[in-house]
Structure 1
Amino acid sequence: MSESSPNQPSRFRRALGAVGRAALLPVRGVGYLIRSGKAHQHFFLPVLNGALGDQLAARYDPRAIRMSFRRGGHDVAVADLRLSEPHQKTVVFVHGLMGDELIWQTGFQDPPGSRRYGPRLAEEAHVRSLYVRFNSGLHLSENGRELNRLLTELVDTYPDAIGELVLVGHSMGGLIIRSAGYYASVDDELKIKNEELKVRNQKAETDNERSIPTTDQSPDPPSNDSFLIFNSQFLITKAPWLVHLRSVFLLGTPNDGSWLEQNSHFTARLLHRINLFPTRFLSKALNKRSNGIKDLRYAILVDEDWQDAHADDLTPPRTPVPPLPGVQYHILMGAWLRATRPSALREYFGDGLVGQDSARGHNTFGNEAALPTGARVRTAVFSQQHHGGLLTHPEVFQYLKQWV
């Protein structure tokens, strides 16, 4: 039997050391929580707004986030962005539910010195990266209209600095991008119709001023070419960012709705129908979730849909929001479950939060023949990636770098 080395600590000392380390575990755990809390404190307001942001905004609570460009952790007015590089490709990043602009830049658990998509694309693809933060508890259409206004102000303020425009949205952010495009295009269509009517009225007034007609033949109407030129000029005036828009990247976006919110809505209705005090209480508690979360049920992107009297039906009205003409859409989705799982299960759960069928957006992007002129759709699936993993996956970055 070999004797223990004289330098080796005794069993008593080893046991005492183990007890000491165990006693310090709570202290170390608290220290870790404090450091983690400090690193994630910027998420407090975004999470609060995602859960109750509509209620905060309704009572003008100062904690309610207002949509803005962000730089250095602060809101930045468009005029203070001071964009100078001429005709530079500009990428605007839009976060998802309960997120903020930092998800595109860095993370607490990322390796030291590492950077995420925004800074890396700016350096390696030589683009301009801009970040938007918004109140994710508001209706999707409310944020969509505000993003349309913000992008219009951006291009109006820097007409020479903005080259091609690329929009990148994660989860809810992708839906807000689509809603913004809808409102920009609808506003243009309405104004174009008004201007066409104005031209026709001016023509009629000119005809009435002719006291003695020289011929029985009425003057020719304005040519289609003149209308196209006029309309394109008006398009630049009303929604100039649409003229610059070339690509939209939708990362884990529930284009046809979220199965999680669909189940939450069904559960709340079922509890209410049971009509007992405990079930009524739970139903009311569930219905306290924000309008932004509720809109995720079927990706409600238009004001009239959530304002409709049947908005809470199991199959509510849903205004089609088609792709924009001349824009290439990139649908990037994760496959959370292993390939050995049944395909129906993998399709349903998708990246864990967004099903693959919804991410593909069959109702919106499924029929290639129905796509507007110049619109194209590309789809990429990243295996064994969850919803949040799409923000850090190296293959996703390489895809962005290639196609941005």
Structure 2
Amino acid sequence: MTEPEDPAELPEGPADKPGSRWRRAAAAVGRAARAPFNGAGLLYRIGQENLHFTLPVLNGAFGDQLAARHDRRAIQMSFRRYEADVSVAELRLQPPPEGQVRKTVVFLHGLMGDEIIWQTGAGPEDVRFGPRLQRELGVNCLYVRYNSGLHISENGRRLHQLLTELVQTFPAAVGELVLVGHSMGGLVIRSAGYYAAQEQLFSEAPVASGPADNTPEPALRWLPSLRDVFLLGVPNDGSFLEQNSHLTALILRKINIWPTRAISGLLDKRSNGIKDLRFARLTDEDWQNAHADDLFPPRTVVPPLPGVRYHVLVGSLLKTVDSALHEYFGDGLVGAGSARGRIFRDPAAPPDLLITTRVYPRLHHGTLLSNPEVYAYIRENIG
């Protein structure tokens, strides 16, 4: 039995036949009626295919509000495999053969990003840093996804807990630990290091003990395993974009008429993670401070960790890197001066700080993640 023919597919008869005109009219009406449904279906398919992109963007913009409402769309910090969250135990890391030293590289994305940026780009042939390092050096490559709308310090604490669980679960398999962060991800790494160091300092403080001291042995920590930190396009001194947004909202609020109040109210809806980028707030105290919204708020100094090699990689839109434009605009999203970071340029820093800075001309913020020269530098210094 043959299916009835769609009027839209019937051959047109002579123009002077009334029946053919009716069939064409009916086909046009049918197409018009189906259009909204076809369009909705297309949008749904596109949304599902790009969910790995749209969900992190939503979290970056409003993730703190989603988390406060316990919305199912709020991302929970986790290691990722096959575009899904996995527990630490599910990673099933294996120790290296006897006599070999294993290295574990952990990647953290930036604002509104996810782990895919470290794995693939525009097409299936655009294989990026993670898979290439794993294939060429045999290192463990792990990827963390997090809610970039939360305070940086909240994510820093959670990363500290996640890395602690990792070394406690697989002490022999982790080996030397390397952390790689892009943009906000580098700030989360620095925040995690701060809280790990604070916890270690507190636990090592002398305490009074009696003759029958039953204090348990300290749990394994991840800081002693940390060897290298790579910071790619990280706004270590803050983001000029967020500084301008904050100033704009402040001025509009001061004008205090209905339109300016409405616009400033909308600007104030941006997430806590975005607001923290203004001056790279890395600790709870910075955003909990009563003067946190001042033009020049107090900021906790978070120094580099001693004995850890820091690699500060800076992009620049310009061919020359000795101009004021380069310092301010840098890679287009992060100024070069901020990416280099005052804390990494302290002439009075202790001698055990190991800091290398590289500037890459004609690279914008995103191409730091796919540039061959950047990859070659990372590969050389991990290997």
Q: Is the shorter-chain TM-score for this pair beyond 0.5, marking a shared fold?
A: yes
- Shift of the 33–396 alpha-carbon distance from structure 1 to 2, 3 Å rule, reads farther
- SS in structure 2 opposite 1:381? strand
Give deviations 1:188-210, integer Å, cap 9, x for gaps. 111211xx122xx438x99xxxx
Residue 316 of structure 2 is aligned to residue 325 of structure 1: no
Partner of 1:153: 165
Q: Distance in 1 between matches of 2:49 and 2:318?
A: 30
**Superposition pairs of residues 23-62 of structure 1, within 5 angstroms:** 39-62=49-72
RMSD between aligned residues: 2.2
Partner of 2:340: 360
CA contact (8 A) 2:179 2:228 kept: yes
Partner of 1:26: none
- Shift of the 335–35 alpha-carbon distance from structure 1 to 2, 3 Å rule, reads farther
- SS in structure 1 opposite 2:204? helix
Relative to the length of structure 2, the TM-score reads 0.84
What percent of counterpart residues are identical?
61
**Superposition pairs of residues 178-197 of structure 1, within 5 angstroms:** 178-193=190-205, 196-197=206-207
Give deviations 1:41-79, integer Å, cap 9, x for gaps. 311110000000000000100110000000000000001
Partner of 1:295: 276
Q: Distance in 2 between matches of 1:77 and 1:156?
A: 13
Q: Distance in 1 between matches of 2:303 and 2:220?
A: 17
Give deviations 1:287-342, integer Å, cap 9, x for gaps. 00000000000000000110010000001110000000100000001011333x98
Q: Distance in 2 between matches of 1:300 and 1:58?
A: 20
Q: Distance in 2 between matches of 1:298 and 1:98?
A: 18
Partner of 1:268: 249
Q: Distance in 2 between matches of 1:67 and 1:43?
A: 16
Could you list the runs of 5+ residues in structure 1 that have no partner in the other structure? 1-29, 207-232
Question: Which amino acid in structure 1 is aligned with residue 114 of structure 2?
Answer: D
Partner of 1:202: 210
**Superposition pairs of residues 278-293 of structure 1, within 5 angstroms:** 278-293=259-274
- Shift of the 242–368 alpha-carbon distance from structure 1 to 2, 3 Å rule, reads farther
Relative to the length of structure 1, the TM-score reads 0.79
Could you list the runs of 5+ residues in structure 2 that have no partner in the other structure? 1-38
Give deviations 1:5-49, integer Å, cap 9, x for gaps. xxxxxxxxxxxxxxxxxxxxxxxxx99999976653311110000
CA contact (8 A) 1:53 1:64 kept: yes
- Shift of the 307–297 alpha-carbon distance from structure 1 to 2, 3 Å rule, reads same
CA contact (8 A) 2:168 2:220 kept: no
Partner of 2:112: 98
**Superposition pairs of residues 11-160 of structure 1, within 5 angstroms:** 39-86=49-96, 87-107=101-121, 109-110=122-123, 112-160=124-172
CA contact (8 A) 2:236 2:338 kept: yes
Give deviations 1:215-239, integer Å, cap 9, x for gaps. xxxxxxxxxxxxxxxxxx97xx346
- Shift of the 286–145 alpha-carbon distance from structure 1 to 2, 3 Å rule, reads same
Residue 258 of structure 2 is aligned to residue 277 of structure 1: yes
Where has structure 1 moved over 4 Å in runs of 4 or more?
A: 30-39
Question: Which amino acid in structure 2 is aligned with residue 402 of structure 1?
Answer: E
Residue 357 of structure 2 is aligned to residue 379 of structure 1: yes
Aligned length: 337
Which residue, 275, 280, 286 being the options, matches 1:305? 286
- Shift of the 58–190 alpha-carbon distance from structure 1 to 2, 3 Å rule, reads same
- SS in structure 1 opposite 2:175? strand
Give deviations 1:318-371, integer Å, cap 9, x for gaps. 0000000100000001011333x9810121100000001100111x11114324
Higher helix share goes to which structure?
1
- SS in structure 1 opposite 2:67? helix
Q: Distance in 2 between matches of 1:389 and 1:187?
A: 36
- SS in structure 2 opposite 1:147? helix
**Structure 1 residue 187: Cα displacement:** 0.9
**Structure 1 residue 104: Cα displacement:** 0.2
